[in-house]
Structure 1
Amino acid sequence: MIKIHHLGHAQSERIVWLCEELDVPYEIQHYTRDPATMLSPPELKALHPLGAAPVIEDGPLMLAESAAIVEYIIVKHGGGRLKFGPEHPGYADYLYWFHFANGNLQPAIGRVLFMRRAGLAEGHPALAAVHGRMERVLALMEERLAQAAYLAGGEFSAADIMTVFSLTTMRLFQPFDLAPYPHIRDYLQRIGARPAYRRAMRKSDPDLTPMLD
């Protein structure tokens, strides 16, 4: 059975959700953020040199990095489900949006968070630049979701599992308004209606009401 080392309010929720969607047996080891720094506690840091979640154990294997874990579980335990292959008409879209989550969306939000924590004044050119980048990223997602129910097309996929954390839980750390993006908001409502997502969020972060609007 897979053991998921889950830090509260962290992207390791992706792995719990994936296992629920695929009906892959798992157990969760919960960790709580340091109340002063909001970073990982020593027990989680001891598992991996970067001290970040998610980390999984699968027998003797220990693996970090959420995208790598998602790929591993889908191929090793999920029969390839939720991953589009080259024969699928949405293959290129799947690849793009799967990697967009950690390659563009999450870093764009993170840069705004870091700049704000640095105490830059409103109107500072660096802060304006990172806000502009985040707005372009969200606008691109909005355009895509005006055309398709899910990021890779008409079918739900692991690209969606990789993406949703940044639009929901990450807003606990860097709030941003989704009112200008009605198609993203509709998309999050579709996600929130998925039984596997609801189960995953109850099990991973029972204290958290998912931020779906």
Structure 2
Amino acid sequence: MLTIHHLQRSQSERIPWLCEELAIPYELKLYQRSPLLSPPELVALSPLGAAPVITDTTTDPSKPLKLAESAAIVEYIIQKHGNGRLALPPAHENYTDYLYWFHLSNGNLQPCLQRSMHFRMLKLAPDNPVQKNVDTRLKKILDLYNDRLTQVPWLAGDEFTAADLMSVFSFTTMRLFYPMDLTGHDGIVSWLRRVGERPAYRAAMEKSDLGFAPLLGGETPELFPPLQR
């Protein structure tokens, strides 16, 4: 059995969504933030104490595999349980697009959002060069996503792939912690609405974060939980 340890309202939402898309059976164990970070029982599961974490007993029930890091988990599930579905093979004409957009979220977008959020918590002056540099970088990344999504329906091209799955969290649930303004980024907003129409996404969010309405438009939400200012 594949077990997903999911910290609610976090990037680990990617993993139940992936399993729903691939129609892979899984057990979902939910953890609530305490108050912002992982609770002790989740911290004990991985070296860095962060979600997601999976355990997998399908190969050897006596020696369950344990794996952390969402990108690693996504690749593992696709290859071990999904017969390669939702990934593009090297022979595919859009293979390099798939690789680029799959890794851009964790490699650039999410770290930049985190830096911007933390700097704002420090109440730096608006003209502080560090804050300005991060904001400029973030705008470039958002514009890059938006330009791509005005040309193609999905990040790797014409078909939904794990590249989309890896990026959505940063534009939806992450806005509970950092209310990013998507004004003028209609390509991103249209893409999020297409995501919201996917039955697997709706099913995963209902199971993993019951009562939470995903932020699939250009709205600016209230902070959750409030940031210290």
Pairing 1:6-155 to 2, within 5 Å after superposition: 6-35=6-35, 38-59=36-57, 60-155=64-159
1:42 is matched by which residue type in structure 2? Answer: P
In the alignment, the residues of structure 2 paired with residue 34 and residue 119 of structure 1 have an alpha-carbon distance, to the nearest angstrom, of 24
In the alignment, the residues of structure 1 paired with residue 127 and residue 213 of structure 2 have an alpha-carbon distance, to the nearest angstrom, of 33
RMSD, aligned α-carbons:
0.7
Deviation at 1:83, TM superposition (A): 0.4
Deviation at 1:176, TM superposition (A): 0.9
Aligned to 1:2: 2
Structure 2 residue matching 1:52: 3-state secondary structure: coil
Structure 1 residue matching 2:103: 3-state secondary structure: helix
In the alignment, the residues of structure 1 paired with residue 200 and residue 164 of structure 2 have an alpha-carbon distance, to the nearest angstrom, of 13
Provide TM-score, normalisation by structure 2.
Answer: 0.91
Aligned to 1:194: 198
2:169 is matched by which residue type in structure 1? Answer: F
1:68 is matched by which residue type in structure 2? Answer: A
**Runs of 5+ consecutive residues of structure 1 not aligned to the other structure:** none
Provide TM-score, normalisation by structure 1.
Answer: 0.97
In the alignment, the residues of structure 2 paired with residue 34 and residue 129 of structure 1 have an alpha-carbon distance, to the nearest angstrom, of 32
Deviation at 1:124, TM superposition (A): 1.5
Question: What are the superposed Cα offsets for residues 106-134 of structure 1, whole Å, 9 maximum, x if unpaired?
Answer: 11111101111222122221111111110
1:137 is matched by which residue type in structure 2? Answer: I
Spell out structure 1 runs of 4+ moving beyond 6 A: none
Match of 2:164 among 150, 160, 165: 160
**Runs of 5+ consecutive residues of structure 2 not aligned to the other structure:** 58-63, 218-229
In the alignment, the residues of structure 2 paired with residue 106 and residue 208 of structure 1 have an alpha-carbon distance, to the nearest angstrom, of 21
Aligned to 1:172: 176
The number of residue pairs the alignment matches comes to 211
Aligned to 2:207: 203
Q: Which moved more, 1:172-181 or 1:113-122?
A: 113-122
Question: What are the superposed Cα offsets for residues 157-209 of structure 1, whole Å, 9 maximum, x if unpaired?
Answer: 00000000001000111111112100100000000000000001001111311
In the alignment, the residues of structure 2 paired with residue 26 and residue 122 of structure 1 have an alpha-carbon distance, to the nearest angstrom, of 46
In the alignment, the residues of structure 2 paired with residue 91 and residue 146 of structure 1 have an alpha-carbon distance, to the nearest angstrom, of 20
In the alignment, the residues of structure 2 paired with residue 84 and residue 58 of structure 1 have an alpha-carbon distance, to the nearest angstrom, of 24
